[in-house]
Amino acid sequence: MPSFDITLEPDMVKIKNGIDTSAKEIGTRFDFKGTSASVELKEKEKEIHSIGDSDFQLEQIEAVVYGKLTKQGVVISFLDKQEKVEKLGGDKVRQIYKIKNGIEAPLAKKITTFVKETKMKVQASIQGDTVRATGKNRDDLQAAINALKKEFADTPLSYGNFRD
């Protein structure tokens, strides 16, 4: 029985390139000279750490990072900004952005109910942080992918792991 997986995974290469160009701009900008302003990517933890002297400076760093990531084609909804700003030693503050990876339960439920409501000959089941869609033939699966792309256009879903 043919099937495919629906996943939500960021392109870490594009994120790394965006953070690297952001760090270069922060290092050369006049208003950041002589301050502790910096941004770095923690790939293993899937986090972005921005460090500045004040909350205002963190907002400026955030604007630079968001701009560079959008130029790389990264959807900003992959970033989950932590509510709490951490105070470091002295007058430094740090903001942490978690990079989302995998489909969360509410979105997975929306996807499965949408597939059921379309009355296609395709079934969707939640399997951890992915959703697997199965059907009798490829044409049904391709129709399901097109319907999902239209319905969830604002969410960067990826479709892969096709099996016959």
pLDDT in tens, the chain (164 residues): 888 888 888 888 999 999 999 999 998 989 888 888 889 999 888 899 999 998 889 899 999 999 999 998 888 878 888 888 888 878 899 999 998 888 888 888 988 998 888 888 888 889 888 889 898 888 888 888 888 888 888 778 888 888 87
Tokens 């629906």 belong to 6
What is the edge-to-edge ordering of all strands in the sheet holding 3-7?
122-127, 130-135, 3-7, 158-163
pTM of this structure = 0.75
Nearest in space to 21 (alpha carbons), one of 88, 72, 56: 72
pLDDT at residue number 11: 85
If one counts every other C-beta atom within 10 angstroms of the C-beta of residue 43, the result is 12
Domain-wise residue ranges, the chain:
3-9+103-163, 12-99
12-99, CATH topology level? Alpha-Beta Plaits (3.30.70)
Identify the bridge partners of residue 80 per DSSP, sorted by sequence position: 98
- b/e sequence 6-40, b meaning 16+ C-beta within 10 Å: bbbbbbeeebebbbebbbebbeeeeebeeeebbbe
Domains 3-9+103-163 and 12-99 share a fold: yes
Position 154, amino acid: D
pLDDT at residue number 152: 84
CATH tag, 3-9+103-163: 3.30.70.860
